[in-house]
Amino acid sequence: MTPITNRNILISGASVAGPALAYWLHRYGFTPTIVERAPALREGGHAVDCRGKAHMTVLRRMGILDAVEAARTGMGPTWYVNSAGKRLASLPADLFAGDVEILRGDLARILYDATAQHTEYIFGDSITAMREDGDGVHVTFEHTPPRRFDLVIGADGIHSKVRSLAFGPESRYFKHLGLHCAIFTTPNHLGLQYTALAYSTPGKLVSIYSPRHNTEAKAVLWFASPSADYHRHDIARQKQILADTFRGNGWESDPLLVAMWDSPDFYFDAIGQVHMETWTTGRTALLGDAAYSPFPLSGMGTGLALVGAYVLAGELATAHGDHRTAFPAYEQEMRGYAEKCMKMGQGVSKFMVPQSRTMAWFLRQNYKLMPYLPGKSLMAKGARKTAESIPLK
């Protein structure tokens, strides 16, 4: 039997892609280590979903499908409302929730529980430098003493530190889609029951939904903006930008802004995609949003990360750890699939948050007709078709 080489693999990022990869690497005989900047698992976050045969097959093969379904949000349709809160038209649950929808933090916890016994987790730390030679990668951390690994995988999101160190600055690869988004937890003051409400004005979208068996609500605010003056870690400035943008916007905008200041899990970021000609270089590879972020409203990001982890680990196992064979095979198998998911994300962004008054007016005029239009079911079918477009080994 051919021995496995490059057993010791460092993964940056403990959200979804990183722990999923660690699960498969351990199963194939590798020794994964995960480093995560946050001091602990990140709770909360937006609802994420898996849809179609490929996504569900990976969850089933990992043995976590039952746990994911037990923690599902159970969301029903999303209703568009007017400024008075009157429900005008709905979009089907399948369009946003797929086959199973779960809060990102809940999924991260399930993946952590499935890997913690055999994976070393280093929380509250980050990679600062990587130096590759013929035998491995010498990695320097902010706090942990330097260590050597055989391979390094960047699964650290759209602002990947591994990508910046190995491939160059983020500006080369991040394509801004002209939107910003904020997500935070609030009390379920509207008494929502497994449903979401959305209020649209030109260049803005305010939505609320009720996860965790309606015990809380998630507010999601989108707005069109070519750029915003803020530092990625300056939460106070981000909240002020949101307050200035949505003050007086109508419906529940002002009450949500009040709740925002005390929210325990506020998240804010520019929305875009990552486009790269290659996801690997030497002994380093990128996975998930770090390599091919589609768009949050596409409903593809989480499933894409899970499939990518499955494929990358499988190729490493097939090549007995030889990254010179496994990395190109991973790119070849995932490239077309990732590009389809990203293309769908671009279309969804234009539909969900119309930036022109003309398009916003057009959508408002069609709310009453929406229940009779085939478009919403076609969008859901299109998303499922895209999600299922990769054959798994």
Q: How many angstroms separate the CA atoms of 96 and 50, rounded?
A: 10
Q: Are 89 and 79 in contact (CB under 8 A)?
A: yes
User: Residues 228-253: pLDDT tens digits?
Assistant: 667 777 899 999 999 999 999 999 99
Domain 8-73+100-174+274-348 belongs in CATH node 3.50.50.60? yes
Tell me how far apart the terminal alpha carbons of the chain are, to the nearest angstrom: 21
Q: Where does the pLDDT of residue 292 fall: very low under 50, low under 70, confident under 90, or very high at 90 and above? A: very high
How does the average pLDDT of the chain come out, rounded?
88
User: How many other C-beta atoms are found inside a 10 Å radius of the C-beta of residue 298?
Assistant: 24
The architecture in CATH of the region 177-272+350-382 reads 2-Layer Sandwich (3.30)
How large a percentage of the chain has pLDDT more than 70? 86
- Beta-carbon contacts of residue 279 (< 8 Å; ≥ 6 apart): 285, 286, 287, 291, 292, 330, 331, 334
pLDDT at 95: 65
Q: How many angstroms separate the CA atoms of 61 and 49, rounded?
A: 17
Q: Parse the chain into domains and list their residue ranges.
A: 8-73+100-174+274-348, 177-272+350-382
Q: Count Cα neighbours of 278 within 13 Å in the Cβ-side half-sphere.
A: 11
Which range has the worst mean pLDDT, 39-48, 52-61, 102-111, 301-310?
39-48
- DSSP 3-state of 368: coil
Q: How many angstroms separate the CA atoms of 130 and 165, rounded?
A: 7
Examine domains 8-73+100-174+274-348 and 177-272+350-382 and report if their fold is the same: no
Q: Count Cα neighbours of 132 within 13 Å in the Cβ-side half-sphere.
A: 12
Most confident residue range from 82-96, 273-287, 343-357: 273-287
Q: Write the DSSP assignment of 305-339 as a string of letters.
A: HHHHHHHHHHHHHHTTT-HHHHHHHHHHHHHHHHH
- Beta-carbon contacts of residue 384 (< 8 Å; ≥ 6 apart): 51, 52, 94, 98
* Residue 120 or 297, more confident: 120
Stretch 111-120: mean pLDDT, rounded?
97
Q: Write the DSSP assignment of 143-204 as a string of letters.
A: SSPPEEESEEEE-S-TT-HHHHHHH--GGGTEEEEEEEEEEEEE--TT---S-EEEEEETTE
Token couple for 107: 């999924």
User: How many other C-beta atoms are found inside a 10 Å radius of the C-beta of residue 198?
Assistant: 20
User: Residues 161-203: pLDDT tens digits?
Assistant: 999 999 999 999 998 888 899 999 999 999 999 999 999 888 8
Residue 276 has pLDDT above 60, yes or no: yes
User: Residues 58-89: pLDDT tens digits?
Assistant: 999 999 999 999 998 888 888 889 899 999 87
